[in-house]
């Protein structure tokens, strides 16, 4: 709730990554970390990390975390509940006089939400060696490259290799469900089985700006009409793929910008960004091939030029670690909580963390499934129940990971 006060007053609850408000929120998180007895640092990928050494640092790290940035006019729990959970677990261990054998870290990942640079999960990409030079060259509408923004918030794009971790043994993330399954079935806990893959594609149509009153329709080169036909195409193809079988597929055009954007000017340029999500990478391949072919044909029909068809980011579906899922289920059972297994249709930092360690997630109910909106709400007891599950799982993992060899999550076939 304190973080929620740090917001654009005109658009609650907005604390976008790389902004002054985001840095103000981060300062609050860092203070709370210090108050809980954690040492605090920023890594080269811009992640805020609180750390408490274990009795045997050679065993590696158990990490808990999420993110503190929001979407525009977002909510008070998406990401933030996961960071608060890590902080509360540290406090609970401290109050009980318990010190783990493993080192424990609480991580606030940089820019999990899609940033103004067209990229999400910036910090977890950096921690897992998945943030490359092409991504760093992405530019926000004002002209600033991501590499400059990363340096501005405390990272170091020239030393990103130092952010990649090999010492994390397990990562756990609490998140509100962002759906209605748990609430509608009066369940306390969702143990996440898999995390959807996300590909984001940018398409740009270039036509010619003309007077809207004096240019006949058959002589126009209207970029927006080509874009509009492509928006309809995206919905139609996504529906066809989703109906085919048990695999999940959705696609959304969430960004559409028009230039010059005046009521009396034929649009000369239009840019759209597609967000495609699936549990089956083959469906994404088919979707992209169809949209590529048909958007090019739309441009030709309407006598405009399709000047860009670019993949901005591509994260494959991920299966959560089965051993961590088992630890979470056992913890929920021991605590008398009603649970179920759930796939995640949203992307999370846990998906990238699975590239370097065992990774899993807990979902807790949110009111009416509402998320990415000011109405987003999770009851205090619901978040506390999820935190208790992760706390118990962390204590169990502190014992079991000493006996098990390293194991990673994995991309889904």
Q: For residue 206, what are the β-bridge partners? A: 269, 305
Establish whether 277 is an annotated binding residue: yes
Please say whether the beta carbons of 180 and 368 come within 8 A.
Answer: yes
Establish whether 113 is an annotated binding residue: yes
Token pair of 365, please?
């109910």
Please say whether the beta carbons of 149 and 128 come within 8 A.
Answer: no
Round to whole Å and give the CA distance between 215 and 135.
40
Between the alpha carbon of residue 243 and those of residues 197, 280, 283, 335, 347, the distances in Å are 18, 13, 11, 39, 22
For tokens 């495609």, the residue is 276
Establish whether 144 is an annotated binding residue: no
Backbone angles phi, psi at 7, to 5 degrees: -150, 160
Establish whether 67 is an annotated binding residue: yes
Establish whether 289 is an annotated binding residue: no
User: H or E stretch including 30?
Assistant: helix 20-35
255-285 b/e (C-beta count within 10 Å ≥ 16 → b):
eeebeeeeeebbbbbbbbbbbbbbbbbebbe
Between the alpha carbon of residue 28 and those of residues 37, 74, 161, 237, the distances in Å are 15, 19, 28, 45
Please say whether the beta carbons of 86 and 107 come within 8 A.
Answer: yes
Q: Which residues, at least 6 apart from 380, have a Cβ–Cβ distance to it below 8 Å?
A: none
Establish whether 264 is an annotated binding residue: yes
Establish whether 102 is an annotated binding residue: no
If you ran DSSP here, which 8-state letter would residue 143 be given? Answer: S
If you ran DSSP here, which 8-state letter would residue 385 be given? Answer: H
Establish whether 167 is an annotated binding residue: no
Please say whether the beta carbons of 342 and 188 come within 8 A.
Answer: no
Query: Annotated binding site for Zn(2+), which residues?
Result: 67, 78, 113, 175, 372
Query: Annotated binding site, which residues?
Result: 67, 78, 113, 175, 200, 264, 277, 372
Query: Annotated binding site for allantoate, which residues?
Result: 200, 264, 277
């Amino acid at each position: 709730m304190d973080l929620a006060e740090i917001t654009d007053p005109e658009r609650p609850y907005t604390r976008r990554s790389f902004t002054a408000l985001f840095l103000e929120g981060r300062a609050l998180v860092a203070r709370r970390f210090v108050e809980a007895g954690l040492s605090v640092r920023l890594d080269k990928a811009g992640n805020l990390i609180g750390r408490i050494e274990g009795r045997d640092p050679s065993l590696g790290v158990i990490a808990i975390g999420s993110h503190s940035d929001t979407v525009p006019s977002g909510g008070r729990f998406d990401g933030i509940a996961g960071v608060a959970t890590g902080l509360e677990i540290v406090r609970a261990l401290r109050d009980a006089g318990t010190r783990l054998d493993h080192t424990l870290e609480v991580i606030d990942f940089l820019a999990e939400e899609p940033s103004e640079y067209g990229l999400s999960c910036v910090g977890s990409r950096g921690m897992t060696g998945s943030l490359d030079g092409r991504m760093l060259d992405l530019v926000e509408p004002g002209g600033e490259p991501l590499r400059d923004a990363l340096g501005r918030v405390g990272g170091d794009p020239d030393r990103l290799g130092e952010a990649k971790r090999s010492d994390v043994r397990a990562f756990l993330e609490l998140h509100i469900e962002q759906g209605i399954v748990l609430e509608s079935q009066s369940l306390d806990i969702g143990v996440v089985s898999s995390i959807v893959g996300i590909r984001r594609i940018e398409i740009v149509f270039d036509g010619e700006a003309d007077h809207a009153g004096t240019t006949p329709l058959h002589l126009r080169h209207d970029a927006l009409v080509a874009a509009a036909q492509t928006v309809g195409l995206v919905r139609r193809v996504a529906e066809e793929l989703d109906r085919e079988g048990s695999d999940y597929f959705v696609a959304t055009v969430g960004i559409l910008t028009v230039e010059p954007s005046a009521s009396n000017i034929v649009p000369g340029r239009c840019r759209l960004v597609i967000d495609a999500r699936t549990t089956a990478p083959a469906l994404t391949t088919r979707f992209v091939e169809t949209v590529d072919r048909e958007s090019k044909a739309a441009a030709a029909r309407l006598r405009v030029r399709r000047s860009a068809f670019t993949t901005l980011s591509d994260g494959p579906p991920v299966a959560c670690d089965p051993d961590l899922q088992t630890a979470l289920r056992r913890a929920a059972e021991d605590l008398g909580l009603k649970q179920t297994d759930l796939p995640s249709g949203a992307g999370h930092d846990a998906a990238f963390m699975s590239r370097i360690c065992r990774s899993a997630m807990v979902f807790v109910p949110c009111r009416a499934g509402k998320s990415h909106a000011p109405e987003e709400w999770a009851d205090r007891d619901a978040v506390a129940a999820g935190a208790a599950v992760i706390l118990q799982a962390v204590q169990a993992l502190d014992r079991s990971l000493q006996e098990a060899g390293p194991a990673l999550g994995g991309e889904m076939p």
